[in-house]
Amino acid sequence: MSVERTLMLVKPDAVKRNLEGKIIAHVQEKGFKLVALKKLRLTKQQAEKFYYVHKERPFFDELTDFMSSGPIVAMVWEGENAISKIREIMGATNPEEAEEGTLRKLYGTSIGENAVHGSDSKESAAYEILFFFSELEIVE
């Protein structure tokens, strides 16, 4: 096992419903350490840059429109196997298919408005963390 860092975003749908605190508490209760946190609003261009890996996918415009539609909360979490374990905590992309007790089952309303985003690999975590945070903003 290795200590990792991963990025998680609380998406505009969940921020609009004031779920940030519940989502943070849920992840903390699973034993992960919050090492960076900020609330911001992406422009359409920033959302396109962040989600560049999906540029050729049919949902790209809808995704980037949604992610720039309101405030988000960006967080860096640290812990043993944080990338895969936090993805488990988040649940399946489609809330209808997510396991009971996962964030998306609890707070997602559709496959597009599914409350949270999380890095899916070490490579994406490295890119995504640096997209939102400088080294000075990540606190041990």
Instruction: List binding-site positions for ATP.
Output: 11, 59, 87, 93, 104, 114
Tokens of 93: 């992309």
Catalytic residue among 5, 26, 105, 117, which?
117
Query: Is residue 117 annotated as part of the catalytic site, yes or no?
Result: yes
H-helix or E-strand containing 121? Answer: none
Known binding site: residues?
Answer: 11, 59, 87, 93, 104, 114
**Catalytic center residues:** 117
